[in-house]
Amino acid sequence: MELIKEDDGLEPVSPTGQYFNSKVMSVSVLGILELEIPIDDSQAMALIKDVFLPINPRFSSIMVIGKKGARKWKKVEVEVENHVHVPSFSSPKGSSSPSENDSFLKSYISQIAKQPFPQGQPLWEVHIIKCPTSEAQGTVIFKLHHALGDGYSLVGALLSCLQRADDPSLPVTFPSVNKFSSANNDDRNIGLPKVVSGCFLPLVNTVRDFGGSVLKSTCFKDDLSPIRCGLESFRPFSLSAISFSLDRIKEIKSRLRVTINDVITGVIFLATRLYMQRGSPNSNLSSNSTALVLLNTRNLRDYKSVKDMVRPNSESPWGNNFAFLHVPIPKVKPSDSEFSNPLKFVHKAREAIKRKQSSFGVVLTGKLLEMMKKCRNPEVVARHINRTMRNSSMIISNVIGPMEKLSMANHPIKGMYFTVTGTPETLQVTMISYAGNLRVVVRAEQGFIDSELYTRSLHDALDMILHDACGKQ
Ligand SMILES: *[C@@H]1O[C@H](CO)[C@@H](O)[C@H](O)[C@H]1NC(C)=O
Ligand SMILES: *[C@@H]1O[C@H](CO)[C@@H](O)[C@H](O)[C@H]1NC(C)=O
Ligand SMILES: *[C@@H]1O[C@H](CO)[C@@H](O)[C@H](O)[C@H]1NC(C)=O
Ligand SMILES: *[C@@H]1O[C@H](CO)[C@@H](O)[C@H](O)[C@H]1NC(C)=O
Ligand SMILES: *[C@@H]1O[C@H](CO)[C@@H](O)[C@H](O)[C@H]1NC(C)=O
């Protein structure tokens, strides 16, 4: 990183931004848009210059080390051509099958996820993939370094490059956070505990509001299992994205009187135990396995538009605001090889999340917070985050997306999803809702997790829960 003498007036990099861009970890978000029509990229450069770059000055800044070693953002001239990649794909045989194109896309994503950003230029890239796949006529991938902002800011930034497909002049709307996290739809009075029970969604307090007395580390190391190999390396992964209908999930939610997040977490937990049993029939289904749920700690009630986020004194400032919540994956008794009570997973998820909400010391990995407060060395904190992730079995995170169908430069968007790269865990599940669907993305370590089997288990878990909750197939 470049050292500069004069750093007056430069914006400091947030602490989280520093952990995410350290020697220990370099974490990025990949946002993937699937387009309904073939890509005409003649507008791409103009769109990036006129719409994307102005969203936030960090998109045209690099990280530098200023006086006293503090990291700052320094504005630079952006050479847009260096950030936009248009790979070509031609099948060896000339005529290719959809599955060949699908695997080209998958391996391309896996490859760009591994590659570090080039030094000395702003930390984002756009990849335009014209090759049609079974999901889309074309795919656009945004690779954004996590130091630029949290998932919430970055997804917000992406969305502000898009318009509504039905009428570009209308505003994009989001389901209210309340709907996702409250068991009762018309509950207007969202006190602190209810919002916290949303689990993935904004906590009402910011990190600094947590008192010192409750800070206590609660980390153990999970057992080794078919989803946790415990090896210390960043290995290539495979990505699989599946879709659930939000209506189905809402149906279960109303029947069981729980939240949407409880249902989703329950489905993921059941799927994970099903996967363990199917993938390795002798595996211990009572293993100590925890999911690390990424929480957004923003102080807000509803999704804010990016314009509001970058406004001075905004109550939901742009940046990195997150914490971890450790949630145990329910155990299955050896005698219950049939998984006779799928609803148990939803109720257990709900219980665990509610229990955590009542003691904030447990909600947030206290040691991490303490370090963030006291420790000036981002490498040390990054190492701690690194180990926290490695000690657990999986990571789950969720972003609420738009309700309407959107388009980008007149290309209607069929689907969208995101994943986080550069973190050390073996299994990661990320979710975004879009136009009536919930896209669930599984990032799994290649050679250790069978991601096909895992996604099949997700489908089966939803079916089992739907069947038992609503009496449907
Ligand atoms: C696969 O991609 C190639 C190159 O873009 C394209 O010519 C071909 O039609 C695609 N195949 C299918 C089945 O979509
Ligand atoms: C971070 O985690 C990776 C994978 O677990 C490990 O190889 C690396 O040594 C860790 N780095 C530090 C500094 O702890
Ligand atoms: C399964 O894991 C749990 C928790 O670690 C342990 O208590 C139990 O003994 C294990 N069971 C077997 C059969 O290994
Ligand atoms: C499993 O977790 C429980 C607490 O949840 C702990 O008491 C126990 O020692 C753990 N077992 C192993 C083998 O780590
Ligand atoms: C990871 O687990 C080990 C062994 O239980 C423990 O000593 C360490 O403190 C844990 N680290 C974190 C960051 O949770």
Give, for all 473 residues of the chain, the pLDDT tens digit: 788 888 788 888 877 777 778 777 788 889 999 999 999 989 889 889 988 898 888 899 999 988 877 888 999 999 999 999 999 876 666 556 778 899 899 999 999 998 999 989 999 999 999 999 999 999 999 999 988 876 667 777 777 788 889 988 887 776 655 555 555 433 332 222 222 222 222 222 223 223 322 233 345 788 999 999 877 666 788 899 999 999 999 999 999 998 888 899 999 999 999 999 999 988 899 999 988 876 554 433 344 454 554 454 544 444 445 556 678 899 998 888 779 999 999 999 888 766 665 444 334 444 455 556 566 677 777 777 777 788 889 988 877 778 889 999 899 999 999 898 888 888 999 988 899 999 999 999 988 999 999 999 999 999 999 999 998 65
Residue 418, domain member (yes or no): no
Residue 412, domain member (yes or no): no
Last residue in a domain, options 136, 164, 192: 164
- The CB of 100 under 6 Å from ligand 3? The reply is no
Distance 97 CA to ligand 1 centre (A): 7
Residue 6, domain member (yes or no): yes
Q: List the structure tokens of 35.
A: 């387009």
Q: Do both 203 and 139 map to the same domain?
A: no
CATH code for the domain in which residue 49 is found:
3.30.559.10
Q: Which ligand sits closest to the CA of 328?
A: 4
Distance 278 CA to ligand 3 centre (A): 18
Residue 27, domain member (yes or no): yes
- The CB of 386 under 6 Å from ligand 5? The reply is no
Would you state the pLDDT for residue 359? 45
What single-letter amino acid sits at 302? D
- The CB of 380 under 6 Å from ligand 5? The reply is no
Start-to-end Cα distance in the chain: 56
- On whether the CB atoms of residues 290 and 258 are closer than 8 A, the answer is no
Q: Do both 355 and 396 map to the same domain?
A: yes
Q: Do both 274 and 187 map to the same domain?
A: yes
Q: Do both 111 and 69 map to the same domain?
A: yes
Residue 258, domain member (yes or no): yes
Spatial CA neighbour of 152 closest among 393, 10, 356, 314? 314
Spatial CA neighbour of 172 closest among 355, 304, 21? 304
Residue 171, domain member (yes or no): no
How many helices and strands in the chain, by DSSP H and E?
14, 16
CA separation for the pair 353, 265 (Å, rounded): 10
Angle among Cα 223, 228, 229 to the nearest 5 degrees reads 100
- The CB of 379 under 6 Å from ligand 3? The reply is no
Distance 422 CA to ligand 1 centre (A): 30
Residue 382, domain member (yes or no): yes
Residue 144, domain member (yes or no): yes
Would you state the pLDDT for residue 346? 94
Last residue in a domain, options 112, 141, 164: 164
Would you state the pLDDT for residue 462? 97
- The CB of 287 under 6 Å from ligand 3? The reply is yes
Q: List the structure tokens of 84.
A: 């936009």
Q: Do both 24 and 157 map to the same domain?
A: yes
Q: Do both 147 and 233 map to the same domain?
A: no
Q: Do both 99 and 183 map to the same domain?
A: no
CA separation for the pair 45, 79 (Å, rounded): 10
Q: Do both 50 and 185 map to the same domain?
A: no
- The CB of 289 under 6 Å from ligand 3? The reply is no
Q: Do both 104 and 196 map to the same domain?
A: no
Q: Do both 35 and 86 map to the same domain?
A: yes
Q: Do both 190 and 141 map to the same domain?
A: no
**Which residue spans within 272-352 are E strands per DSSP?**
290-296, 322-328
What is the extent of the structural domain holding 104?
A: 2-164
Mutate which of 220, 273, 286 to test ligand 3's pocket (most atoms within 8 Å of Cβ)?
Answer: 286
Last residue in a domain, options 116, 135, 164: 164
Q: Do both 293 and 261 map to the same domain?
A: yes
- Minimum-distance ligand 1 atom for the alpha carbon of 131: 5
Tell the residue number behind the tokens 């309700």, with chain if given: 403
Would you state the pLDDT for residue 324? 66
Mutate which of 220, 232, 290, 384 to test ligand 5's pocket (most atoms within 8 Å of Cβ)?
Answer: 220
The tally of domains found in the chain comes to 2
Would you state the pLDDT for residue 365? 46
Positive or negative, the CA dihedral 35, 408, 416, 258 is negative
Q: How many of the other CB atoms lie within 10 Å of CB of 302?
A: 13
Q: Which ligand sits closest to the CA of 352?
A: 4
Considering only CA atoms, which residue is closest to atom 5 of ligand 2?
A: 232
Would you state the pLDDT for residue 316? 46
**Whole-model pTM?**
0.84
In three-state secondary structure terms, 79 is coil
CA separation for the pair 196, 203 (Å, rounded): 5
Element (H, E) at 381: helix 378-391
CATH code for the domain in which residue 260 is found:
3.30.559.30
- Minimum-distance ligand 3 atom for the alpha carbon of 287: 2
